[in-house]
Structure formats: C-alpha cells, structure tokens
Structure 1
Amino acid sequence: MKKFLFFLLITVAAKAQLSSKAEVVLVTVAPGKELHSAFGHTILWINDPTNGIDRAYSYGTFDFNTENFYLKFLMGTLPYTISVHSMQDEFNYNLQYEKRGMIAQKLELDSLQKNAILQDLETNLLPENREYAYKFFYDNCSTRIRDMIEKNAPGKYLWHANPTLEGKSYRDWMNKYLAPNSWVTLGMNLALGTPSNVKATAAQSCYLPDNLAAATNLSKGLSSNPVSLFDAEAVDIKGFDFTGPYVILSLLTLLVGFLSFKNAFPFAADLALFTVIGLLAWFIFFLGTATNHEVMAYNPASLMLFPLNFPLVIWFARNPVKWKFYIHMVTVFSVIGIIWCGVQFWPMIFVGLPIFIRLCRLSFIKK
C-alpha cells in the first residue's frame, strides 16, 4: 500500500504544471565535519506557492543500513539515490543537526524549462530510476543537478566560462577541502590513481557544490544574487597536528635511516616494515584493479610500495645477497614510484621513504 501511495504521489507531482510564480532554486549546503559531507552538498528546490509545491531534490543520498554497506562502498557498488523533502525539513536538519550553512540562488528559467526540470526530477524518483552508480568526480549530487539544468535549458548557463575554476586537477580540488596534515587526506591521495590528476575544465570542476554555485552566479541575469539562508558555525582552526602523518612518518624515516646506517636493523624489523608496506600495496592494487572506482586505476603508489614485498620479505630480508637482483629491481621501481607520487601529491613521499631506505641498504650488503 505504501509503495502504491508513493507511486501515486510521484505521478500526480510529475503531471502537475507549475504556475507563473514557481521558482527553481539552486541551494548550496556548506561542507560538514564528517568525511561524507566534507565537500558540501547541492539541492535543487522547486517552489510553487500557488500550487502548494515545495520539493527539495537531492542526489547522492545513501542508506547506512544497506546490507553489506562497507563492502559495497569499498567495491564501488553501493547504490546511491535521489531523494526529496520539503525545504523546511532540509533547513531544519542543516540548522539543528548538521550546523551547515545554506545559500540559495534563484535560476532565471522560463515556464517550459521549469516544468521540464520538474518532470525529469519526478521521473528520476520512480523506483526503477532512483538508484544509480555514484562517481565522486563524475556523477554526484552536484554534477547531476548541473546536467539536469543543462539538459532542460541547453547553453543558458555557461559552466565552462569561468576562468577561476580552471587549471586544477580533480585531486587538487579535492585536497582544497581536506586538512593538509591528516591521515585521511594522505589515505585518500594514496588510493587515487592517475585519472584524478587530469586537469578539470571549469564545467568539470563543478563536481564540487561550491564551484557549481560560483559558475551559476557568474551567469549574470540568469540567476539572482546568492542569499544566505543561514550561516554555518565558525570552525575552530586547529594548530599543527603532531600526531599527523608528517611528524610520525618523518620520525619513522629518521629511525629507519639511523638504524640502517649503523647496521643495527634486525630481521624482525624488516619483516614488520615490509609486511605492512606490502599489504598496503596489495590493498591499493586491489582498489585500482578489482573495484568500480576507475579513478583509483593506474596508481603509482603500487609501484612505490610494491605488493610483492610481502610475502617475499620472509626470504630476501634474511638473505639479501641471494635476492640481490630482486632488491635492485624493486629499488628502481621505488624511485620511479616516489618521484611519480611526489608530483601528484608530495606528502605521499613520506610513505615510501622508509621502505626505499631499507631497499637501498639491503642492495649494498656484500655479505
């Protein structure tokens, strides 16, 4: 019965014609504190007081209660959906719970364009259409709305005509929203492959809600000036994190270098170091080859850390002379990987330096 009523409600809304007082509003939600909300959110609000229509559409929503949630998220198969609420509900949720600011921009569209957008949004809400494969850079809450507007008002909003949104890669734009000295930031960059280094056009950079709002605002006469519905809470700026990756990995590198120089690095330490690095390399290799996350493919971090270091460390670290060819080969791979990773995101070098130091030392052992 509930499914029937849901389908009936969507059908009625889809067939409704908007009045001349109807508005289509782009609403940009500020970044939140959690990782899944760190890049902001985009909502498309259809408001028609004459016909009593108040529908705020969001793409990129998901359910934490989905069966095998973490496995599907890891594999890139987690179903994402479009959802709809009243704008008052969205406002209350962000004001009271998320504490995230909201900015609204009314789009200047004619009646045909407004109705076409409404029809498309309601069609997407149908049970057979509402789920889709989410892509962080290419198909998310912001790009879906950008494409929806472009489809129904082609050429009206020149997303590509904003020079301030050009020149950065997808990775660069992502890192703008992440803390620099953070394990999460380092981990996300380690997981991303070369596709994330592609220079995004101004239109492609609109995968971020703030950029979509900026590009929309640039279209003079086609959108009203942004209006703040409410401001986000002031965020305390944290000082330097002495437990962050820069400090911890630097200390590890110095320790490995000192013990290697003194010939005091035991086999057990080699076993631990190469095992951890090797398993991390296998995980990165898995993300790039066995999941639906295409932006994780062709990852030089796999070259820098090299998966075969585990389990081969059990043999070569005990007898490096016998494994001299392997150690020399992996040392070359490590150099290439470190340079490549450094060009992409220089802090990744910190992950590769300890293993590189040990490979260099093992490769020079004579007896």
Structure 2
Amino acid sequence: MKGFIPLLLIVFFVAYTDLLRAQAVQYGDSVEVSLLTCEPGDAVYARFGHSALRIRDAGGRDMSYNYGIFDFRTTNFYWKFLRGQTDYLLGVYPTEYFLAEYRERGSVVWEQVLNLTAPEKQKLIDLLNENYRPENRMYRYNFVFDNCATRPKVMVQDALDGRLSYESAYAADTYRQLINDYISNDAWLYLGINLVFGASADQTVGKGGASFLPELLRNDMQRASIVGGAGDSHPRPFVKSTQMAVGPFATVVETTPWWMHPLFISVVVFFAGLALTLQRHKNSRTSKLFDSVLYGLTALGGVIIFLLSFFSEHPLVDANWNLLWLNPLNLLPAILIWQRKARKFLLYYHSANVLMQLAAGVVMVLQVQQFPVAVFPLVLLLLLRTSRRIKRLFTQLLERSTNGWKWKK
C-alpha cells in the first residue's frame, strides 16, 4: 500500500491532463486561494518539503496546482538530472489526491488562506490557466531559483494589485546554511552536498532569497502584507488564516551512527596513513597501495565536482575550491605510482600538487568557502602523504654535487 497512492496519482494525473488539455479550469463563486506547504519527508527528493497552490469554490471544485511533477521515464532522465537539465511541469488535479499522497507519507501539510481580492483571485486563475496550456506547462527546474516553491510565489505576486512587502527572517543567512538545516541529521548527504557546493553557496540569500525552501516561504508569507493596492489605505495582511490540512504525525529523526559518521571514518583513515608514514619500511607495497587508493578516490571525487562545476546548470556549484585537494588529475599518481619509469614525472606532479593542497588549507583558514569538517583530516593526510612521496622521490632521483643538486644517472 506504501506506493499505491503515488502510483494512483500518476495514473490520475495523466488521465486528467488529457481531459483538460484543451480547456482551462473554471471556477464558480466564492473562490478561495491557499498556499499549501508540505513538511519534509525521508526521501532525498522530499528532504526540503513542497509547495502548491489550492483553489476551490463554493460549488465544490477544489484543485491543486503542483509545479513539482517530473517523470523518471523521460529519455536520459538521470543524465539530464546530473547536468541540471531536468524539466518539470505544472500538474493540476483535485486537492484530495494531492493531500492523500502526503497523508500516506506521514508529512504534515499546512494551508494558508490568502487574503486576495476578487479581481486578484481571477487574475491568478487566468495566469494559472495560461501557464497550464500544453505549450507552457513545462519549465527548466532549478533547485534554488525556479522550483515548486518559487513558482507559486511568483504567480501570486503577478496577480496582486499592489506589491508584497515583508521582512525576511533569513536574509542574512547563506544558501549553504539554510540547506544544511534540512540535511544535518544525514551525515553522508550533508558531506556530499557540501562538497559539490562552491563558494557561491556561501553568499547571503538576501530579501526573498529563502523562498526556494517551502517552509521558509510559508514563514515569510505569514508575516507579509500587500501594500499599494487600489482601495488599500493600509497594508493588507497577505495571509487570512492558517490551518493544518494534513496531520499531525509523530516524527522520528534518525541520525547517522557515530561509527558510520564521515568524520569518524576520515579520522581513522588519517591515523592509518600516519602509521604508514611513520613505519620503518616506508616504500612497502602496502604504502603504495594505500596511496594509490587515496589518490584514486580523490580523483573520482574531483571528476564529479569538475563536471558539476563546469558542465552543469545546477546552481551554487561553481567556483568550487574543493578542486584544490579533490584533484581530478590524481588519477595519474594513482596509476603511475606502480611504474618505476614515471618517478621523474611524479616528482614534478607531486611538487605542484602539494602546493594546491597547501592552498586548500589557506582557503579553509580564510573561510573563502565553507568546508565540511570531515574533510580536514583527509586534506591533512593528503598533504602528509604527498610530502612523504616528494621526499622519497627526491632522494631516489637527485644527488648533491659541487654545483648543487643534479639528476642521478
């Protein structure tokens, strides 16, 4: 039964879309407009919650406008998702189906009835009907700047006879801080997201910038007023009333066990590398294997970050200083460490690489970009092992002469 409601919703949505494809949704008298806010769920895609618009009339028509519809069956969906080229679309269907999904999931849904005038409601309906036309309903999804929460806000703002005014409680927070609040209990998800985020994630969101997170949008809208509207001599509260549409539910927050936490594991790996560095036989096969795996894993992480930073449309992933230590080119020493003839090249490579690792340390100290604490032992380990490799190669390949150092024959 767990997956029945979402499956039913998809089937219904496809059928309902075909039915409404050539016609706009019409409403009778006494229209009421609400902002629905769904609290976060356990799945990764549900971690940040969801928003939708609800429109109902006295005649019983009750529809939800959901900008969060996507189809896994789309050609090359996962490749497009990695590149930030996922297209979402507006779905319109009875609110009972929308609420049923979150009721089954165990997520609370809040409803804020908006304090709109009759002309504003009609304009919003017209805008939504236009947006629901087959040629308009699809849009390029952007997690921060164009998503299921920002779209309803923009549609309502465009329908107002006046402007929305509010003091956001989150204007001084950074994108990284706001997002981390939703993932801090999952240490591995926290690590992954903070590794792919670049320096732009540490910018403050400013006024209205927190609206991409549904719960924060709800909180800001609760304090908002409509000003400058015709016939409004005073600011008009944006929200008329608030109630819980689904819930409440008992919540259990699961956290990552300490022995599976990335910080604990990185500390263990650091001390393992330190032990290898201090052992008597410093060029053992075990030591080489350790470094080969270490460089290989950092190269893999670097390739992912490099592709996201330079070849994707995802927000907040550019200017990523993690590339200083998660170097994609570390694949070279991971392989060439086993090749005796490559020692001279590796000496040059490690000499350049250790400078990049030192630069990563400087960036961390100066807080040019925020780094997860779990990576600190790994950066220190890389610096330690790379310095040890340089010293070893230097003594193997160079000798002192009367004119200084020269290559051994």
Give the TM-score normalised by structure 1.
0.89
Question: Bigger radius of gyration, 1 or 2?
Answer: 2
In the alignment, is residue 274 of structure 1 matched against residue 292 of structure 2? Answer: no
Q: Which residue of 2 aligns with 1:123?
A: 130
Q: Which residue of 2 aligns with 1:170?
A: 175
Superposed, 1:266-305 pairs within 5 Å as: 266-305=287-326
Aligned residue identity for 2:360:
G
- 1:194 offset after TM fit, Å? 2.0
- 1:174 offset after TM fit, Å? 0.6
Q: In 2, Cα distance between the equivalents of 1:266 and 1:356? A: 15
Q: Which residue of 2 aligns with 1:333?
A: 356
In the alignment, is residue 238 of structure 1 matched against residue 292 of structure 2? Answer: no
Q: 1:39 aligns with which of 34, 44, 48?
A: 48
Alpha-carbon contact 2:293-2:334 (below 8 Å) kept: no
Q: Which residue of 1 aligns with 2:229?
A: none
Q: In 1, Cα distance between the equivalents of 2:254 and 2:220? A: 30
Q: 1:87 aligns with which of 71, 81, 95?
A: 95
| Deviation readout 1:204-243 (Å, 9 max, x if unpaired) | 1111001111111002622124211233532323355121
SS at structure 2 position matched to 1:83: strand
Q: 1:210 aligns with which of 194, 206, 215?
A: 215
Q: Which residue of 1 aligns with 2:376?
A: 349
| Deviation readout 1:322-353 (Å, 9 max, x if unpaired) | 63343222112112224535731332434534
Q: Which residue of 2 aligns with 1:183?
A: 188
Q: Which residue of 2 aligns with 1:359?
A: 386
Aligned residue identity for 1:346:
P
Alpha-carbon contact 2:171-2:209 (below 8 Å) kept: no
Q: In 2, Cα distance between the equivalents of 1:234 and 1:295? A: 34
Quick one: percent identity of the two aligned structures? 25
Q: In 2, Cα distance between the equivalents of 1:190 and 1:176? A: 16
In the alignment, is residue 7 of structure 1 matched against residue 21 of structure 2? Answer: yes
| Deviation readout 1:128-156 (Å, 9 max, x if unpaired) | 11111111011111111111111111653
Q: Which runs of 5+ in 1 are unaligned?
A: none
| Deviation readout 1:230-267 (Å, 9 max, x if unpaired) | 33532323355121211111111111122112236522
SS at structure 1 position matched to 2:122: helix
Change (3 A) 1:320 1:361: farther
Q: In 2, Cα distance between the equivalents of 1:22 and 1:214? A: 24
SS at structure 1 position matched to 2:107: coil
- 1:44 offset after TM fit, Å? 0.6
Change (3 A) 1:115 1:63: same
In the alignment, is residue 229 of structure 1 matched against residue 245 of structure 2? Answer: yes
Change (3 A) 1:331 1:18: farther
| Deviation readout 1:76-126 (Å, 9 max, x if unpaired) | 122111111211111222112x11001111111111111111111121111
Aligned residue identity for 1:149:
V
SS at structure 1 position matched to 2:328: coil
Give the TM-score normalised by structure 2.
0.81
- 1:25 offset after TM fit, Å? 0.3
Q: In 2, Cα distance between the equivalents of 1:321 and 1:167? A: 50
Q: Which residue of 1 aligns with 2:84?
A: 76
Alpha-carbon contact 1:30-1:232 (below 8 Å) kept: no
Q: In 1, Cα distance between the equivalents of 2:43 and 2:300? A: 27
Change (3 A) 1:322 1:70: closer
SS at structure 1 position matched to 2:139: strand
In the alignment, is residue 249 of structure 1 matched against residue 266 of structure 2? Answer: yes
Alpha-carbon contact 1:205-1:211 (below 8 Å) kept: yes
Change (3 A) 1:227 1:269: same
Change (3 A) 1:252 1:210: same
Q: In 1, Cα distance between the equivalents of 2:84 and 2:238? A: 37
Superposed, 1:130-169 pairs within 5 Å as: 130-153=137-160, 155-159=162-166, 161-162=167-168, 164-169=169-174
SS at structure 2 position matched to 1:228: strand
Aligned residue identity for 1:63:
D
- 1:197 offset after TM fit, Å? 1.7
In the alignment, is residue 48 of structure 1 matched against residue 40 of structure 2? Answer: no
Alpha-carbon contact 1:18-1:111 (below 8 Å) kept: no
- 1:158 offset after TM fit, Å? 1.8
- 1:306 offset after TM fit, Å? 1.2
- What is the RMSD computed on CA atoms of the aligned residues? 2.3
